[in-house]
Amino acid sequence: MEPWVLITLAAAAVQTWRFMLQKGLRAAGLSTGGATYARFVFAAPLAGAALAALLMARGDGMPALSPGFWLWAMAGGLAQIVATLATVALFATRSFAVGIAFTKTEVLLVAALSALLLSEPVSPDGLAAMLVGTAGVLLLSRPAGGWAAQGVDRRALMLGLTAGALFGLSAIGYRAATLQVDHPQALVRALVALVAATGFQTLVMTLWLALREPGELSRVATRWRTVLPVGVTGVLGSLGWFTAFALQNAAYVRSLGQVELIFSILASVVVFRERLRAVELAGMAALGASVVLIIWRI
């Protein structure tokens, strides 16, 4: 099994753990913005320390970084922030479940953007696996009352498509940024891109919270013991994604990374004792088949 496959599976598992920890931040009195900020504010210095330690251990200097690197890293970071805000806004719509389903088109959008912007098209087998996986994700996203019960409104549709497109663009930005780093080791390239992206995101989110949510920065600081585990799991998960992006086409990485949904559902069953519906079992089967196809054929 290729290294990028194992790294992606590990990143998906760690990200599931981070989401479980991040849910607890709302109970600790943090807003959605504060909980999101917690992911970046500790991730950036942790990633910087890891990069410094790795370069020191290797006896290397900091790789030279082109203007293109900074543009891609910042584009990916900004796209991820806006996509997250669009996803949060979906929960205020009456048909948010339908909108969320449209965000799941991310993998197909990444495949299109990868071919268009990076000249990295996916193979026919890879596209087939992505279509199967997307079908599985849509089944897993199906609300209990069915799609008809939710209805569709234009705002939910546009927010969902916007979030999916921007999440896809962030993956492309991160993949492109790692390719711009002139270093032979994928882990170094990943850490350099991760430090740049999370540092930029921390700056943007700090300014945003200072202007829009006065007092939230102080609440994050005073709850650092609760917030720190989110930052640690966040940086570990992000390092996994960035390393996988440094090794493989972003479309394949994001497609395989959808296994995160299976991990999340299994966590809900084990931790919260929730029962699976038949449609969820069907979705998990389709998503599992997609994962097998990606690993087997790519």
One-character DSSP codes across 98-146: HHHHHHTTHHHHHHHHHHHHHS-PPPHHHHHHHHHHHHHHHHHH--TT-
Share of the chain above pLDDT 70, in %: 86
Report the predicted TM-score, pTM, of the whole model to 2 decimal places.
0.85
Average pLDDT, the chain: 84
Residue pair 133/67 in contact (Cβ under 8 Å)? The answer is: no
Of 57-71, 113-127, 264-278, minimum mean pLDDT range: 264-278
pLDDT in tens, 191-233: 999 999 999 999 999 999 999 888 889 888 888 888 788 778 8
C-alpha closest to that of 111 among 294, 295, 296: 294
| C-alpha–C-alpha distance, residues 32 and 120, integer Å | 35
Q: What is the pLDDT of residue 23?
A: 63
Q: What value, to the nearest 5°, has the Cα angle with vertex 264 and ends 145 and 196?
A: 120
Of 23-37, 86-100, 267-281, minimum mean pLDDT range: 86-100
Of 15-19, 87-91, 160-164, minimum mean pLDDT range: 87-91
> Residue 67 above 70 pLDDT?
yes
State the pLDDT confidence band at 246, using cuts at 50, 70 and 90: very high
> Residue 84 above 70 pLDDT?
yes
Q: What is the pLDDT of residue 147?
A: 53
State the pLDDT confidence band at 71, using cuts at 50, 70 and 90: very high
| C-alpha–C-alpha distance, residues 103 and 138, integer Å | 10
Q: Which residues of 171-198 are buried (b: 16+ CB within 10 A; e: fewer)?
A: bbbbbbbbbbbebeebbbbbbbbbbbbb
156 CB contacts (<8 Å, ≥6 apart)?
90, 93, 94, 95, 96, 98, 99, 102
> Residue 94 above 60 pLDDT?
no
| C-alpha–C-alpha distance, residues 239 and 153, integer Å | 37
Of 123-132, 177-186, 214-223, 264-273, minimum mean pLDDT range: 264-273
